[in-house]
Amino acid sequence: MARARFAVIEKLAYGENSTLIRPMMLEEHRKRLGFMERYEADAGAAMDRLRSHFDVLLAAIAAGRAELIRIHRAGLIEDEVLHDLERDLDVEELAMTLQRGN
């Protein structure tokens, strides 16, 4: 399935004159295909690496949250801004946690 998806993305990432018009999409799907190939070769190692990736992202979110609280306590942002930004962090954290899995 991953190879079939990548083949379509690779084909459509280029314009009529063979100019790469969707480089970020192509790179993202190239990485996904690489992960799937590593997963097929050794599922446990691939999942450990993936969890480690999400652990780093979760640590970055936690640091962002701490800094947000610090600047709020320093009076640099109002309550409404704090709550909006906290909500964004909550959504991002939930997404990372779900993607990380067990």
Q: Per residue of the chain (102 residues), what is the pLDDT tens digit? A: 889 999 999 999 999 899 999 999 999 999 999 999 999 999 999 999 999 999 999 999 999 999 999 999 999 999 999 999 999 999 999 999 998 887
Indicate the domain borders of the chain: 1-41, 43-102
Q: Output b/e per residue, 79-90; b: 16+ Cβ within 10 A.
A: eeebeebeeeee
Cα 14 off chain centre by = 24
Closest CA to 96 of 56, 68, 63: 56
pTM to 2 decimals? 0.72
